[in-house]
Structure 1
Amino acid sequence: MADEKKPKQTRGWLRVVITIVCCILALVGGGMVFQALASLKEKPQQSEVEEKVYKVDVFKTEQIPLGEVISGFGTSRAYREVVLSAEVGGRVVEKHPSLKPGANVVASQVEVDSQGRTRSTTPSLPLVRIDPETYKQRVVQASGRIAEIDAELKVLAEQEANNERLIKKAAADVEVYQSEYQRIEDLGKRGVISKTELTTARLELERYKQSVLNLDNETRLFPVRQLQLERKRATAVSDLETAQLDLARTEIRPPFSGALSEVMVEVGQNLRPGDPLVKLLDLDVIEVPVPLALGDYEKVAALLKAGDNPTVTLARNTTSPGQWTGIIERVSPQADESTRTVEVYIRVENADQPIPLLPGTFVNARIQGPVIPSAIAIPRDCITDGTVYVADDGRAVKRRIVRGQTLQSLVLIDEGLEAGDQVILTNLDILDDRAKVDVQQIRTLADELELMEVPLVVPKVAEQERVPQDGASQ
């Protein structure tokens, strides 16, 4: 039995071995067939890896003089503005027929003669007339006092002349009686006349001498009396001038031609000195105070010191075109402690404007500042960590720059760029140094300025054309 089982076991292992060998042979044969088939297939051609080209826009630099424009804000006001008040008291008996807000009034026309004296050639109509009767009476009274004093001075002069004649006569009488007294005295010595008669003659001589002395003393008082009368007359003349001035002040006339902005008086109203009557504005010249930062003020002050009054364009706001023009006339002598600004004053001649600038208008002032010579300006968005990419012979070349003054969206370059360089504007986030680029669009400074609603700088050559329409720095 044991011998019969042994051949069966041997045949089982044999079948397993054969099966494994057949599988191995099948795998090997399949692999050889795959390799044979693969060797029959043509190998694909390998293509070279192409370098990526970036399409970019560039800014072409220019080295030209640039005129800086300084911006500020202010509220216009009349160059001359006055509130006319009553200078004398009284009842209003008449007022100008056009005495209403908005009415224009004309001042007297004044001429200056060859000797420098002024005179009114075309008197203006009074705006308000106060009852003048009281002041007329004061003029009459003062004139009467002057006439009385003049009469007294005339009488005094006659008295002085008469007194001089009396002195001469009295002196002659003294000389005559002196001779008579000598004769009487000789008679007394010879005993011809009594002592009583001699004494009477001596007293008569003394009376003549006293008369001369009294007349002389009275003559010495004439200059004092004349001085007193002259002082009284001077006081009376002053009173007359004051009365005449007060009489003239009963008619309130405009000191200059202009427009009425307020009227505060009516006929029949009783006025006291100092009561306001009307507010008068001179609209021919308008002034605009504009506060500037200290840095901007220094630029304007330097131009004024050099004798250049900077021109100014005024607009309704920062984005609107310029509507009025003027010049900076003067600057404040001190800075404002709270705002740390200094006011400059712009003068606007309304006669030169297409539309008058009215007082109280809030405006944006665009002041032509100093000229920056040989400036290179580029958009500030193309600068990354102090470097820019420049398109050079189809490559993006990274270049370090030195930044200067920032003017709105532009930056002045002190070092690192030259005129004609093409500074890359787009795809800056994916560019590398020496990357290949393809320039699509070339922009210039003029294109950048056109994009700004309020340009900060203007090319010097185009300054006169652009400033009235463009704008200023913030």
Structure 2
Amino acid sequence: MTPKQLKIILPLAILAVAIVLMMLLKQGRQPAEQREDLPTGVLVDTITSQQESLIYRVSSQGTVRPKLMTNLVSEVNGRITEVSPNFVEGGFFAAGELLVKVEQDDYLTAVKAAEANLARATAALEEERARVRVAEEEWASFTDGLAPELGLRRPQLARELANVRSAEAELERAVRDLSRTEIRAPYAGLLQSRAVNLGQFISRGTVLGNILGTDLAEIRLPLSDHDLAFMRLPGPDNPNYPAVELSAVVAGQLQQWQGKLVRTEGVLDERSRVIYAVVQVEDPYQLQRPGDSPLRFGRFVQANIEGIASGAVFRVPRNLLRPGNQLLLVDADNKLEFRTVQVQRTDERYAYISAGLSDGEHLAVSALPNPLAGMQVRLGRVNGEWQEVDSTSQTAQAGD
């Protein structure tokens, strides 16, 4: 074959091979997969509104303090000869327990001297009474007339009687001073601070220490006018004391105690414009019930006060409430709707809706960047559970 013939045949052969390969590739190609159109609209999680009746809880906070707090003060002079083992900072003691004893020698001597003085006065009174009887008999033997007071020694008798009463008072004072050498606890409590010790000389008016009563603890809780609208304070027309639940984190664990609201201080604070309610807790250190966690003085606690019944309201998470008291709803056509509602009360977690909602309506809980009224959406989770949607919708949600 000549070169000239080769130049003509070779391009034709290459073109024929290309045509054959193109036909083979066309026959082996699979048809394109047909996909159904995905539904339009973003998935929105919702919760359904449900009307309920509940009892409001009013929240506040305060510091635990003792109801009774006393400075122990000496009423006598002398040297301290005895100190109770419980007379230490943080020590507990019972009512009437001896805490400090002062040297008694001088006071015992004073009691003896007062007793001797009373004995002398009593003897002088008896002697004067005998003289009065003798004077009355002598006067009667001479005349039947009225005897003068001085002749019957009545003034002398009154003087001796006054001496006896004065001696009795001196003895009572001496005995009282002797009893004051034993300084006892006026009530059950604990010692907060101590200012004296064994062997120290003290005088009348010396502060020995500061004690706190452990029978009752009190917590002052600030309440605003808005809070007062949802609770009933105790008073002449309401003898019931609202229950109060106190809580605090102690050693990393949440502890709770029960108390009752017993009174208010009755005067608004001029700076904060709040009124203080007082909650009492019995046996805060759990001395009668060992094993329970004590409610120590000085601890800051949260308080939930039992309030009034709400009637029929809708309780929704507070973060769903938009400016202007609006909620974002999904209507029956799966379109977004902004609804203005009447809010009766809000707290840290919930808003309580009294009007503007009905049972079973869908409240949007998903975070939508730019929601518009009438926007088409699809229901995703309702009350935390997936709705029955097709597989493509779930795949699209998973891809998101």
TM-score, normalised relative to structure 2: 0.75
* Residues 327 and 341, structure 2, Cα contact 8 Å, conserved in 1: no
Partner of 1:142: 114
1:339 is aligned, of 272, 286, 297, to 272
SS in 2 for 1:67: strand
- Shift of residue 300, structure 1, vs aligned partner: 4.4
Query: C-alpha separation between the residues in 2 aligned to 1:340 and 1:140?
Result: 62
Query: C-alpha separation between the residues in 1 aligned to 2:323 and 2:203?
Result: 74
* Residues 246 and 256, structure 2, Cα contact 8 Å, conserved in 1: yes
- Shift of residue 265, structure 1, vs aligned partner: 1.5
- Shift of residue 248, structure 1, vs aligned partner: 0.5
- Shift of residue 290, structure 1, vs aligned partner: 2.1
1:223/1:419 CA distance change after superposition, 3 Å: farther
* Residues 264 and 278, structure 1, Cα contact 8 Å, conserved in 2: yes
Query: C-alpha separation between the residues in 1 aligned to 2:271 and 2:371?
Result: 49
Q: Which runs of 5+ in 1 are unaligned?
A: 1-48, 109-123, 173-211, 445-474
Q: Which runs of 5+ in 2 are unaligned?
A: 1-36, 385-400
Q: Deviations over 1:175-195 (max 9, x none)?
A: xxxxxxxxxxxxxxxxxxxxx
SS in 1 for 2:88: coil
- Count of residues in correspondence between the two structures: 340
Partner of 1:111: none
1:63 is aligned, of 42, 51, 71, to 51
* Residues 78 and 359, structure 1, Cα contact 8 Å, conserved in 2: yes
1:160 matched to 2:92: no
- Shift of residue 244, structure 1, vs aligned partner: 0.5
1:289 is aligned, of 213, 220, 225, to 220
SS in 1 for 2:298: coil
Displacement over 6 Å in runs of 4+: 317-320
Query: C-alpha separation between the residues in 1 aligned to 2:367 and 2:115?
Result: 97
Q: Deviations over 1:401-444 (max 9, x none)?
A: 33213333533323221122112233655555554432111238
Query: C-alpha separation between the residues in 1 aligned to 2:129 and 2:323?
Result: 104
Query: C-alpha separation between the residues in 1 aligned to 2:174 and 2:73?
Result: 19
Root-mean-square deviation (Å) = 3.1
Partner of 1:403: 342
- Matched letter for residue 146 of structure 1: L
- Shift of residue 359, structure 1, vs aligned partner: 0.9
- Matched letter for residue 311 of structure 1: A
1:256 matched to 2:187: yes
2:79 is aligned, of 72, 91, 97, to 91
* Residues 403 and 413, structure 1, Cα contact 8 Å, conserved in 2: yes
- Shift of residue 228, structure 1, vs aligned partner: 2.4
* Residues 261 and 278, structure 1, Cα contact 8 Å, conserved in 2: yes
Identical columns (%): 25
Query: C-alpha separation between the residues in 2 aligned to 1:225 and 1:56?
Result: 109
Asked which structure has the greater CA Rg, the reply is 1
SS in 1 for 2:358: coil
Higher fraction of helix: 1
- Shift of residue 238, structure 1, vs aligned partner: 1.4
Partner of 1:426: 366
1:386/1:240 CA distance change after superposition, 3 Å: closer
Partner of 2:241: 309
- Matched letter for residue 68 of structure 2: R
Q: Which range moved further: 412-421 or 318-327?
A: 318-327
SS in 2 for 1:441: strand
- Shift of residue 362, structure 1, vs aligned partner: 1.8
Query: C-alpha separation between the residues in 1 aligned to 2:143 and 2:350?
Result: 109
Q: Deviations over 1:131-156 (max 9, x none)?
A: 21222222222222222222222122
SS in 1 for 2:174: helix
Partner of 2:123: 151
1:171/1:434 CA distance change after superposition, 3 Å: closer
- Matched letter for residue 420 of structure 1: G
- Shift of residue 241, structure 1, vs aligned partner: 0.8
